[in-house]
Structure 1
Amino acid sequence: MRDEYQNDILVFVTTSVAANGIDITYESFGSPEGRPLLLIMGLGAQMIQWDEEFCGLLAEQGHHVVRFDNRDAGLSTHFHDAGVPGRGGPAPYLLEDMADDAAGLMDALGWTAAHVVGASMGGMIAQAFAIRHPDRVLSLTSIMSTPGPAVAPPSQAAMAALMSPPPADRAAAMEQSVRTWSVIGSPGYELDAELIKERAGRAYDRCFDPAGTARQLAAINGSPDRREKLAGLHVPALVLHGEADPLVPPAGGQATAEAIPGARLVTYPGMGHDLPRALWPDFVAEITKLTKG
């Protein structure tokens, strides 16, 4: 599958490829001659959570940007036969398997190595990727993430918002998304309810699979703490984290930065568990500083 889209910002291409035994759908931004940069998104989130304009800003800085749907999200393979994991039961796959998906995607792209950027669960996958495939990581950026779920437990309100019952239809999904981001988002920045609704509607239209999100959550909870193995990395690393994050509190970012030798930690007052538009220029500048070496 290959579709090309154009908006006022840039042209981007949607493609589906076989990788690590599954199908992965991805989109690319910028020149193929640019510095390869792989964006990995978080729990239950589709690749469109990486805003096209944000991807365009990274492309303008000389990156060849690729965002993709993780397994059990969006248009990539869903593990329907695995059902919904029972409480305390075995996870059908782990974050390490999702990291190998990313490696398989890089194989399909012809990338020997790349700058790897992950947000939330995507940061956990990026960490696992760096541990499993260190020779394929040019740099590692971990955003609002943690080396293990026990390191920085979420607030009760954040967990309650995350575990709300699945919405009944598209309209309910849009409204629920606003309620969720009102709890876990950035209190220091204005909530863009219309953008949240629009993106939630797009996500619902692309794929609605609450069971897939449950399987991803089981992968998080079933995967080992990564601090010991992160300590053995020798890659340029950046950790970005909000000081007001209720879902992955700042201790998660601090532990990540402390575990990776030489990692740079940058925190933002008023930032919660999202990527406020006002901070995009700073995120792009920090990531670009790292990828340029």
Structure 2
Amino acid sequence: MSESADTARPARPPADERCGPGRPEAELSRLSFGGFRYDCRVLRQPHPGTVPILLLGGAAQDKYAWARHETRLARIATVVTVDLPGWGGADALPAQYGMDFLADAVGHTLDATGVRTANVMGACYGGVIGLRFAQRHPDRVARLALVGTRRTLPRQLRESFSSGVELLRGNDHHEFARRAAELFAPLADRALIRRRGAVYRLLERQFEQMTPGQADRFVKNTERLLRHPLYDPVPVPPPVETLFVHDEHDRFSSPGHGREMAAALPGARVAVMEAAGHMIPLEPPDEFTDLLLRFFTDQPLDDLPLSLSAER
């Protein structure tokens, strides 16, 4: 089956997405890749200061998850968010499809939106996809920001993910939500983490209220992580600028994971956010957006706020 964008005009965005002061109107498009339908959303900036910004979220994030960040990002660039196959309202993607397929779906998304080269930000699961995209299509990535990404899943995490799959298959959303929220925003951790309680409650509610379709997609996406390697040791060819962003108290992907991955990529940097856990886009959202704005416009990172530190 050929992979092409639907020829119909983009759907009219809901009222809360229409133009406001300094905010472009969102274009919504239904795309298809490999026989799987999925959705793309674009905020066009007619006078950009840098190439378009593509945001790839984690397993529980969809194309609307970046509303707080995109308002500022869209002031300097076109912003693309997407529900790849398996995400949001897209078709579920069976686990036998690996990271290469999703990376190529990213390339198809850029083709469909008329974007040749992009600044790519990938968070958690989205970081795995973003890195694979940069490895397979380095000429299409201007700068690469990888947030909370790791190379492998150790035995403990694999067991945790497997038990979560079984809970969802057994329709025990309550226990799954409790365990998932504790993994990504642990209340029991004594470390200082900003907005920890609010983020925990948000995650717990989101996981507990998953529809059957959302649970099925989440199961398949988790099985993909268990079935396929997260990381392909093929280096990202220069001159792709790469920044690993990690949180000081992230139990899922510590700063050490970022340093380990950065060591394999010439010139890569690591930024560490203090008083934050795994959910960095939610815990200090404004500082996170500041960091992306600096990185995607080639501003120096050596004078960051005290809550951030950047390393080469």
TM-score after normalising by structure 1: 0.79
Does the residue aligned with 1:211 lie in a helix, a strand or coil?
helix
Q: Distance between the aligned counterparts of 2:32 and 2:55, measured in 1?
A: 18
Structure richer in helix, relative to its length: 1
Asked if the contact 2:128/2:230 (under 8 Å) is kept, the reply is no
Greater length-normalized contact order (CA 8 Å, ≥ 6 residues apart): 1
Judged with a 3 Å threshold, the aligned counterparts in structure 2 of structure 1 residues 51 and 228 are, in CA distance, closer, same or farther, namely closer
User: Higher Cα Rg: structure 1 or 2?
Assistant: 2
Across the aligned residues of Structure 1 and Structure 2, the Cα RMSD in angstroms comes to 3.4
Structure-to-structure mapping, 1:71-82, within 5 angstroms = 71-79=85-93, 82=94
Structure 1, residues 4-43: CA drift from partner, whole Å, max 9, x if none?
1343875434321224543220222352553311111122
Whether 2:194 is the aligned partner of 1:189: answer: yes
Tell me which residue corresponds to 1:131. 135
Deviation at 1:210, TM superposition (A): 2.6
Deviation at 1:284, TM superposition (A): 1.8
Does the residue aligned with 1:2 lie in a helix, a strand or coil?
coil
Tell me which residue corresponds to 1:281. 286
Tell me which residue corresponds to 1:243. 248
Judged with a 3 Å threshold, the aligned counterparts in structure 2 of structure 1 residues 227 and 261 are, in CA distance, closer, same or farther, namely farther
Asked if the contact 1:227/1:259 (under 8 Å) is kept, the reply is no
Q: Distance between the aligned counterparts of 2:173 and 2:169, measured in 1?
A: 5
Whether 2:215 is the aligned partner of 1:210: answer: yes
Farther off after superposition, 4-13 or 92-101: 4-13
From 41, 60, 65, the equivalent of 2:57 is 41
Structure-to-structure mapping, 1:43-122, within 5 angstroms = 43-48=59-64, 50-60=65-75, 62-79=76-93, 82=94, 91-122=95-126
Judged with a 3 Å threshold, the aligned counterparts in structure 2 of structure 1 residues 194 and 236 are, in CA distance, closer, same or farther, namely closer
Letter in 2 for 1:181: A
TM-score after normalising by structure 2: 0.74
- Residue ranges of structure 1 left out of the alignment (5+ in a row): 83-90
Structure-to-structure mapping, 1:104-183, within 5 angstroms = 104-150=108-154, 154=157, 159=161, 163=165, 165-166=167-168, 177=177, 180-183=180-183
Q: Distance between the aligned counterparts of 1:199 and 1:292, measured in 2?
A: 36
Does the residue aligned with 1:259 lie in a helix, a strand or coil?
coil
Structure 1, residues 177-210: CA drift from partner, whole Å, max 9, x if none?
46633441275112326972798289846x7333
Deviation at 1:153, TM superposition (A): 6.3
Letter in 1 for 2:206: A
